[in-house]
Structure 1
Amino acid sequence: MRQLTKDGLQQTDKRVGLMNEILAAMDTVKCYSWETSFQKQVQNIRNYELSRFHKAQLLSALNSFILNSIPAVVTVTSFGAFTFLGGKLTPTRAFTSLFLFAVRATLPFRNAAQLIKSDAGVIIRGTVAYVPQVSWIFNATVRENILFESEFEAARYCKAIDVTEFHHDLDLLPVFNRCIKEDFKGKTKVLVTNQLHFLPQVDEVILVSDGTIKEEGTFRISLKTVCCSKS
């Protein structure tokens, strides 16, 4: 690629030099009607010059494509082989693997040359969590996205919604107000959901757990009772 660029620059110098000679002897060129001949010479040099630069750009684009494709190819190949061999690819395993593949995101301090290698060990007390800057939502319910393959714990689940102020975001979803309350106003609707903030707005609540109706009536089921359900 460097050689192609060098050849192109040499052709540029050659073309500019020829043009300077033509302009310096323009009277002679006009006198003998050599315009067409010199035009062909300049055009041939220009075509060869552009071909060198064009090939150099193609090689540069191909090189960038290969370098940028390597992480994706490695990820897809690894996940495909893991699944083919009978492994179960869960979000927890997938994100752990993606984190290990992302060499550039090893630590925020790496680019600042603050990552120092030593023989010291690391003692971890409790659990470790990785929270990326860009959130990721998979095709599942809101509750399953919050749990993220973790076991359901009512108190912890409700606390997570309160701490993250997620109630406000759920209220911004227009589906319930625009579709159910406005467009289908006056019609009987059956809403199957585990989103607790919708319950005060319905006429009747039916609590189903393990395929059995546990409780039925108006909104008199406490938040604690619903949270303890795994429906």
Structure 2
Amino acid sequence: MPSLLHLDASIRHSGSVSRELSAHFAARWRDTHPDGGYTHRDLAAEPVPHITHEVREALLDPSRGHGEPPHERALTEALNAELRAADTIVLGVPMYNYSIPSTVKAWLDRVVTPANMVTPDGGPGALTGTSVVVVTTRGGSYAPGTPREGWDHQEPYLRAVLRSIGLADDLEFVHAELTLAASVPAMSALKPLAEKSLNQAYDTLEALATRAG
């Protein structure tokens, strides 16, 4: 049975473009897979605690006792179980200060572990073959030729870290840019471009959610 893991990270629960887009993908995916499993984790409403030294040592070598509190171990196991059970993952990731929210980093710190990483020779890992859709929203634009080209530390980081745990073979990034154009007067001239970017994001997510498989 196919299964979708849906993660959100926006600190906004009303008017969040990343939440609206990830929810759109999830709804279409569930329409296409009516018997599929579905798990939603809200990393903003229920943040994953930052790892401690004891937690990190246990992640690196679970076979040894490192003084990891039982509730920390249970959380790590739950997060990894959700990840491994999913055939498809959709992440709604807003850009904060040119990078990802710290809540996403805290989640990644629990799942980017030796147990999930691909082998040094490039062989498959436990998560290889999982489809991943990363929905990003940005207040500005970081496209080639824009004033802030090269300031995007969101997609490059996520590509690298997801690749390390075998989630690069079927990885799609869908960006909605210039989201601040609707509320920042100095960006009002960019509203048509923002609307175009948003509409393209919806169209792309529609296609990704309803494709075969």
* Higher relative contact order structure (alpha carbons within 8 Å, sequence separation ≥ 6): 2
Whether TM-score is above 0.5 comes out as: no
Would you tell me which structure has more strand in proportion to its own residues? Answer: 2
TM (norm. structure 2) is 0.21
